[in-house]
Amino acid sequence: MPEGDTVLRVAAGLRPHLVGLPVLRARAAGGARVERLVGATIEAIETQGKNLLIHVSNGLSVRTHLRMTGTWHRYRPGERWLRPASRAALVLEVEGSVVVCFDAPIVELFDTRSRALHPILSRLGPDLLAEDFDPAAAVARLRESSAITATIGEALLDQRVLAGVGNVYRSEILFIERVDPLAIASALDDATLGRIVGTARRLLLLNASRRGARATTDGAREGGTGRLWVYGRSGRPCRRCGTPIRSARLGGGIPRTVWWCPLCQASTANRIVSDATRPGPG
C-alpha cells in the first residue's frame, strides 16, 4: 500500500499539470459524480495521511485513496494509455494533460466546507508529513492508542492514531528504535514514543523528497548494503547482529505481517508481550 511519502510525491507531480487550470472533462467509475467538476478551476492538491485531495473553485473536492492497487498516470491528450480504460477509477482532463487514477478503490466527491465533519478525514490522527505537525500531540495519541489497539505495532498502522505510516515503515521504524512490535503502546515511556514519532517523520520526509526505492538504512546504517532493515526479510540474518529475522501476523480485522529482530528489539523495557503469547510466524 502506498504510504504517506508516496502520496505526497504524487501530489507534487500532479500540481504543475493541474493547478490553475479549468476541468474540461471528468469521469469516474462507481457513483462519484465528478462531472460536476467540469468548468471549475483546480485550485489546490494536497494530502492528508494516505489520502490525496483535489480542491476546485466551485466548492467541491475529490478524495482518492490508492489502497493496495491504485496508481496515478499523466498523459498528453491523445497519448495511448499504459493500462486499459476499464481500469480507470478517475479521469480528469485539462488543457495539455489527461490524468488518470487507475485501480483506486476509493474515489469520492464531497463538499469542501464539510471536510471537518468528513467521516474519514475528521478521524485521522496527526499527519506525519504536515508542516504544522505537533510531535507532542502524536506521542499523546500513541499513548492513548491502547483504547483502540493494544500494541505499538498495531498503533503505527492505525490511521486514527497517526496518519501516513504503512506496513514497510512500521517494521523499519520499530527496528531502528529497537522497540518490540508487540510491546503495549501505553507501557512505553514518552522518550521511546518520541523517538518512534521522530524517526517516522524523518523517514517519511526523506523519502518524500527522493526518487527510487524507499530508503530506511540511510547514512546512519550500522551495517549491510540493503535499503531495508527487516521488512520482508523473515529468516534472513539481521543486518546489526546476525540473528534470523522473525515475522508474524499482527492486528485484528485484516492482520498484516510485521518483521523484527528478536535480539535487537528484545530489551526488557519494551518487551511487554512474552514469546509464549506471540502469534505464530506469518
Instruction: Render the chain in DSSP notation, one character per residue.
Output: ---HHHHHHHHHHHHHHHTT-B--EEEESTT--GGGGTTPBEEEEEEETTEEEEEETTSEEEEEE-TTT-EEEEE-TTPPPSS-GGGEEEEEEETTEEEEEES-SEEEEEEGGGGGG-TTGGG---BTT-TT--HHHHHHHHHHGGGT-SBHHHHHH-TTTSBS--HHHHHHHHHHTT--TTSBGGGS-HHHHHHHHHHHHHHHHHHHT--SS--SS-TT--S-S-S-SSTT-TTSBPTTT-PBPEEEEE-SSS-EEEEE-TTTT--TTT--S-GGGSPPB-
Which pLDDT tens digit goes with each residue over 177-196? 999 999 998 889 999 999 99
Say which CATH superfamily domain 4-122 falls into. MutM-like, N-terminal (3.20.190.10)
Give the model confidence (pLDDT) of 54-106 as tens digits.
999 999 999 999 988 899 999 999 999 999 999 999 999 999 999 999 999 99
* Per-residue pLDDT reduced to its tens digit, 95-106: 999 999 999 999
Q: Which of the residues are catalytic? A: 2-3, 50, 256
User: Residues 240-245: what's their mean pLDDT?
Assistant: 95
pLDDT of residue 115: 95
Average pLDDT, the chain: 87
Q: What is the pTM of this model?
A: 0.84
What pLDDT score does 31 carry?
A: 84
Predicted local confidence at residue 211, as pLDDT = 66
Residue 221 has pLDDT above 60, yes or no: no
218 — pLDDT class (breaks 50, 70, 90):
very low
**Mean pLDDT value across residues 132-150:** 84
Domain ranges in the chain are: 4-122, 135-277
For domain 135-277, the CATH architecture is: Orthogonal Bundle (1.10)
